[in-house]
Structure 1
């Protein structure tokens, strides 16, 4: 049908005629949120261009729910069309890397608490754009799994369409927000009037909500942020999300939760998994939450797990430390960046992160993990079977997905930085790819999950006939705890060697235990000159200059010893000005006050150093972009090269950088950007900047 539309806006009084040859009417099966923004108080354009999320818009929101809509959380079907209007306190931008996409996510706050789509009553809500997930399903399926497994405070979300001042914005999730709130993380709120000034127990024992973010990053996003973080002895950093100490300070509460985390860590790494007082880590941490949280991160192969402010923990008053809630599984999870035939669905990727590496050495913990798998497997099969929960969500999102893709197109980038692989793929292929990935991942885990219950082995070190040390090693783990290298006059120590099928093999820091063994000291007689005191030939840092803010922040400047197989035990670390920053025996640095210091490491005759500048926390900035100093390199097989990075930012900190080789059989790369040639051929080293969602390439030719 055709409509004739007359334009009366011509100032000259002339009227122009237009012919619309077709008009498409769509009846959505989802709720639609219509935002009516009063732009005299702040424009939508200003809000969408404010990366600090300080610009707020005001007005109201009308939610229209069509007849026949099935509400997942109430289990009821809408009998007739309904419409409700709610006054906004504000709407503003939200998100980190997701905010850099063209389709923006938002934080919505109403002037009164509202129960929207049976998700509970709250003022605070979020609109998740899912821009990096062409299926629009990954977060939804994760939260369904969390709910099915009984994981406390798992977010709830519903598919909705969003229209703002007459413009269609796309298909979103209307979601609860992870925060201390009766409708989210329902624990005591230490920011309320009666609790914020408390300095004694039991009040200060909870509630706390923490993430694995950093105060520096929060300051970068919001210069007014008063959130505080702390770093444990093992170098794990935690950000206190609530209480946020806005408008006040309370060192008693800060020190309580900091000390509680340290006691938990001390117990995990202590003898018999107990800290000095005799308390077990099970007295401090809820084990069941740790098990389920591990499994969801492991199954999904989540690249953001245990290293960002999407990793949450909480502690209720008089309660134990718990892992969760789940959050942010739309990008680098569930195979989102893996297209083509070679899906990365094998290996366990999360079982050595944060405290889990040590926890799996406890037989009771690893047994709980193994025993939990059949339950989780059944839920995953329910998710992906024909007509299962995933298909129900596909049917529910329906035509909303089609028009979202018409407006925004498919997001196009895979893990190799290829921007064409995913371009304009049919939605059915996105769903098939997701299902296939999950089914392959389930099949691999099902065949290997019992290996998570580690076997114990004894490794004996012997020098001649003299026993030196006996340590416990674990299956699938590299052997650690080597004794100090012995000395013998007139001889050079060559290393520790063990018998493997008649061949003497050298133990290195990369040797994985497969059985109990005896390692013997091997010596070489010195004919002239002096023996090397170390097998290390060189040490490289990611950067020669590093920056950190004054907040007890650990400086992130990884190092690599060359050759990669060298024994790094016996390294000695030093800070030239300990009052500015300290460094522990693992090379972890803690910034204390403004100033400059040199962090150095020495082993034998080999040494390396970098300059650390500690500045006001307000001055540091997560590097908005980086450059590689070389786009290609040539190395000989068995030799090494270095990829350096740079940025124009004045006080940059580098977070979320990962070095990956496209072919480890040709060339491997370390976290410090050191490349080792292995055999003749060509490979590409990818520098993945997950914070800014960028990938940089360096072509490597091995001669």
Structure 2
């Protein structure tokens, strides 16, 4: 990566502080910085990601790749050179909101904010999460519990085409890669995502139990290998229905139990609505090996933020009542292992609650910018905005109280 001369950085800092952006022609001119006007939304102690698309073209679908340039700013000046990439929309439900996510694909493998190099990155909008920290909390807990891979995420503020867009999570995407899911991209390794009928990406198949499964890896999977994957998951569902997990054909031949328990308990603790085997549930499999649940993803509808009142109450079992989870945990030995797992890790789960003030502090200033740009704290008009708050503090405090109640309910009902 080219290092900016310190003189140029200083000049950029002076020029960009409160600049007016008078030139609205093409953003792809040969310049050494992308202008940033932060006079209305001042620096908030987290990095700023500045993106300009070719001819300021709008990004409003998930298919069209729009050429763009990106630069990362610190407090007073750029902290990266200008990077070439393409940008498109991303997300499921949040894709249809005013503040939508972005998929970034660089021309070369690129390290962002110290995270390992890759071409593929995501900017997660967090529009449905008034605390802004639910996904980040999930990544902390998953790492503490030893999940094999959890996407690294960092808080950033985004400027797109010279317009402030708010607080996002800059995140690694889920894929096979040496620094992500460390499996080779070949015809023996499969990465699956459980989807639903609202949005099913090709290639996909439907299992015997009616689960819609998208094959994310291999990228260009043959019809023959689609049938190989379908046959294996069909056989797994047939096995689950037999409810004979501990004979000669042990469930450990089919399922990595450690990874399942990490996945299960984080989903259950959060009562994550998508985690009830609805969508955004990832798992991977190597021919001849076990099914591994994970990586964990998408917790906007968790930790008390569910779209339906009966889901958002801190009481009652949730994840274990649905689909594969139900069959797996119906077995008394698996249920016993799940109970023991909670008992062995209960302090780790409570540590997440204790750490909330640290995460809140990271974005305290940025949250003021966010809700100035998107004044939705007291609105309850969207599927994920059911709760009304007077402030960001109140939103975080409400979630904290919910998590304390959830923790105690699990303790009392193991």
Interval containing the TM-score (normalised by the shorter chain): 0.7 to 0.9
Cross-structure match for 2:346 = 377
Cross-structure match for 1:64 = 73
In 1, the alpha carbon distance for the partners of 2:145 and 2:203 equals 32
Higher Cα radius of gyration: 1
1:230 to 206, 212, 222: 206
Q: How many angstroms does 1:320 deviate by?
A: 1.0
1:400 and 2:377 matched: no
Per-residue deviation, residues 304-355 of structure 1 (Å, max 9, x unmatched): 1244330111113553111111011012x11114899x96111101112122
In the alignment, is the contact (CA less than 8 A) between 2:284 and 2:292 conserved in 1? yes
* Secondary structure of 1:170's aligned partner: strand
Per-residue deviation, residues 434-483 of structure 1 (Å, max 9, x unmatched): 1001000001001111xxxxxxxxxxxxxxxxxxxxxxxxxxxxxxxxxx
In the alignment, is the contact (CA less than 8 A) between 1:55 and 1:92 conserved in 2? yes
1:240 to 211, 215, 239: 215
TM-score normalised by structure 2 residue count: 0.83
Cross-structure match for 2:235 = 263
Cross-structure match for 2:35 = none
Q: How many angstroms does 1:184 deviate by?
A: 2.3
Per-residue deviation, residues 591-635 of structure 1 (Å, max 9, x unmatched): xxxxxxxxxxxxxxxxxxxxxxxxxxxxxxxxxxxxxxxxxxxxx
1:322 to 292, 296, 301: 292
In the alignment, is the contact (CA less than 8 A) between 1:339 and 1:414 conserved in 2? no
Per-residue deviation, residues 12-35 of structure 1 (Å, max 9, x unmatched): xxxxxxxxxxx6672331111111
In 2, the alpha carbon distance for the partners of 1:216 and 1:229 equals 15
In the alignment, is the contact (CA less than 8 A) between 2:195 and 2:278 conserved in 1? yes
In 1, the alpha carbon distance for the partners of 2:120 and 2:211 equals 30
In 2, the alpha carbon distance for the partners of 1:420 and 1:93 equals 25
In 2, the alpha carbon distance for the partners of 1:255 and 1:101 equals 36
Cross-structure match for 1:117 = 113
Runs of 4+ residues over 4 Å off in structure 1: 337-340, 411-421
Cross-structure match for 2:304 = 335
In the alignment, is the contact (CA less than 8 A) between 1:267 and 1:274 conserved in 2? no
Q: How many angstroms does 1:179 deviate by?
A: 1.9
Per-residue deviation, residues 505-560 of structure 1 (Å, max 9, x unmatched): xxxxxxxxxxxxxxxxxxxxxxxxxxxxxxxxxxxxxxxxxxxxxxxxxxxxxxxx
In the alignment, is the contact (CA less than 8 A) between 1:56 and 1:91 conserved in 2? yes
Q: How many angstroms does 1:289 deviate by?
A: 1.1
Give the helix-richer structure, 1 or 2: 2
Cross-structure match for 2:9 = none
In the alignment, is the contact (CA less than 8 A) between 2:306 and 2:312 conserved in 1? no
Q: How many angstroms does 1:413 deviate by?
A: 6.1
* Secondary structure of 2:348's aligned partner: helix
Cross-structure match for 2:283 = 313
The answer for unaligned runs of 5 or more in structure 1 is: 10-22, 68-80, 191-203, 220-225, 450-703
Cross-structure match for 1:347 = 316
In the alignment, is the contact (CA less than 8 A) between 1:63 and 1:83 conserved in 2? yes
In 2, the alpha carbon distance for the partners of 1:102 and 1:391 equals 28
In the alignment, is the contact (CA less than 8 A) between 1:264 and 1:284 conserved in 2? yes
In the alignment, is the contact (CA less than 8 A) between 2:183 and 2:189 conserved in 1? yes
In 1, the alpha carbon distance for the partners of 2:52 and 2:295 equals 32
In the alignment, is the contact (CA less than 8 A) between 2:377 and 2:391 conserved in 1? no
1:32 and 2:48 matched: yes
In the alignment, is the contact (CA less than 8 A) between 2:315 and 2:406 conserved in 1? yes
Change (3 A) 1:413 1:336: farther
In the alignment, is the contact (CA less than 8 A) between 1:412 and 1:420 conserved in 2? no
Q: How many angstroms does 1:393 deviate by?
A: 1.1
In 1, the alpha carbon distance for the partners of 2:167 and 2:382 equals 27
* Secondary structure of 1:238's aligned partner: strand
1:157 and 2:166 matched: no
Per-residue deviation, residues 251-292 of structure 1 (Å, max 9, x unmatched): 1x22222222233223333263269xx422211111111111
Aligned residues: 379
1:430 and 2:405 matched: no
Q: How many angstroms does 1:418 deviate by?
A: 11
In the alignment, is the contact (CA less than 8 A) between 2:272 and 2:306 conserved in 1? no
In the alignment, is the contact (CA less than 8 A) between 2:283 and 2:292 conserved in 1? yes
TM-score normalised by structure 1 residue count: 0.50
In the alignment, is the contact (CA less than 8 A) between 1:215 and 1:229 conserved in 2? no
In the alignment, is the contact (CA less than 8 A) between 1:338 and 1:344 conserved in 2? no
Cross-structure match for 1:361 = 330
Change (3 A) 1:352 1:407: same
Query: Which structure's relative contact order is higher, taking Cα pairs within 8 Å and 6+ residues apart?
Result: 2
In the alignment, is the contact (CA less than 8 A) between 1:31 and 1:161 conserved in 2? yes
Per-residue deviation, residues 648-683 of structure 1 (Å, max 9, x unmatched): xxxxxxxxxxxxxxxxxxxxxxxxxxxxxxxxxxxx
Q: How many angstroms does 1:181 deviate by?
A: 2.5
Per-residue deviation, residues 48-91 of structure 1 (Å, max 9, x unmatched): 3x3xx122322321112349xxxxxxxxxxxxx76102423301
Change (3 A) 1:63 1:291: same
Give the strand-richer structure, 1 or 2: 1
In 2, the alpha carbon distance for the partners of 1:433 and 1:237 equals 35
Per-residue deviation, residues 563-612 of structure 1 (Å, max 9, x unmatched): xxxxxxxxxxxxxxxxxxxxxxxxxxxxxxxxxxxxxxxxxxxxxxxxxx
Q: How many angstroms does 1:213 deviate by?
A: 1.3
* Secondary structure of 1:184's aligned partner: coil
In 1, the alpha carbon distance for the partners of 2:114 and 2:218 equals 28
Per-residue deviation, residues 114-164 of structure 1 (Å, max 9, x unmatched): 111222110100000000001001111011111111112211100001112
1:132 to 128, 138, 150: 128
1:409 and 2:378 matched: no
1:55 and 2:64 matched: yes
Q: How many angstroms does 1:44 deviate by?
A: 3.3
Change (3 A) 1:290 1:36: same
In 1, the alpha carbon distance for the partners of 2:197 and 2:179 equals 26
User: Cα RMSD over matched residues?
Assistant: 3.0
In 1, the alpha carbon distance for the partners of 2:203 and 2:197 equals 6
* Secondary structure of 1:84's aligned partner: coil
Alignment map for 1:518-597 (pairs within 5 Å): none
